Structures are given as structure tokens and as C-alpha cells.
Structure 1
Amino acid sequence: MLVQTRMLSIDPSARSRLNTVFVVDNFIGGSIGSTLAGVFWQAGGWPVLMIAAAVVTCIPLAIWFTQRNRALISER
């Protein structure tokens, strides 16, 4: 919810358009995730699916962590 609140504060006059983009992106992400889950399930069942989920979770976490460190260094 915080992401949507921050996004809608960008331009109050474009709230409906921004919200439409947000919801459409959620549906697209969900459909891609469902498709990939089916592919990974066929490739090896639960073990492969869980490894893929861990990788998909760790990639944005690593990006966030490196960007966070850069922001802390630049503030000094």
C-alpha cells in the first residue's frame, strides 16, 4: 500500500491514470509469475519452484541492499 500511496502523490491530477497503470502492472506481474511457476513446476516440481522463488526474491533484495549502501555513502 505504501508504494501505491507514494506513486499517487507524484501528480494528484493524474491519480486515476497512475492507479490504472499500477493495477495493470499487478495483473501482468501476476500472470508472468503464474506462467513461470507452471514452467518451473514441470521442470522439477517443488524443489525447482522453491529455488526459483528464492532467486526471484534475492535479486531485488540484492539491488535494494546495494542501492541502500550507495545512498548511505553519498549522504556522508
Structure 2
Amino acid sequence: MSKRQLSHLQTYLGGIKHLIGLPNIAIIIDQQEEYTALQDCITLGISTICLINSNCNLDLADMLITANDTTNDDAP
């Protein structure tokens, strides 16, 4: 495995090696961007807190924090 690949894996997956069991809760910042992670949490029975936008599915998250990142360029 090249050093570049190893560094990439260490950066994004390095914390997993320290896990003893499944986490009790996961915080997901962008529901649409992290849809795969959200589906994995649902499958594994991990509760989720999601920061959601107005165009997200409200039924997928256990706890919601509503936010809207859509900007209105026509506003004065």
C-alpha cells in the first residue's frame, strides 16, 4: 500500500481502531451529503442527531436541529 493511501486511510478511518463497541449516538451535519452514514446508523440501531436543511427527510433522524443554508441572492 502506498504511503499516500495509508495516510488517507489513517486520516479518515484512524479513530475506528480505538472503538470498543458501537457508539450510542452519531451527529450528522449534512443529511444529504452523509446519507450513507445515516443509513448505516439506522441499520445498526445507532441514534442520530441531524442538522437538516429544508429539503431533507425529517423522518430519517431521531433528533433534529433545523437549519437552512439556502441563501436568497434577491434579498436587499
Alignment TM-score, normalising by the size of structure 1: 0.29
Q: Which has the higher contact order (CA 8 A, sep 6+)?
A: 2
More strand by share: 2
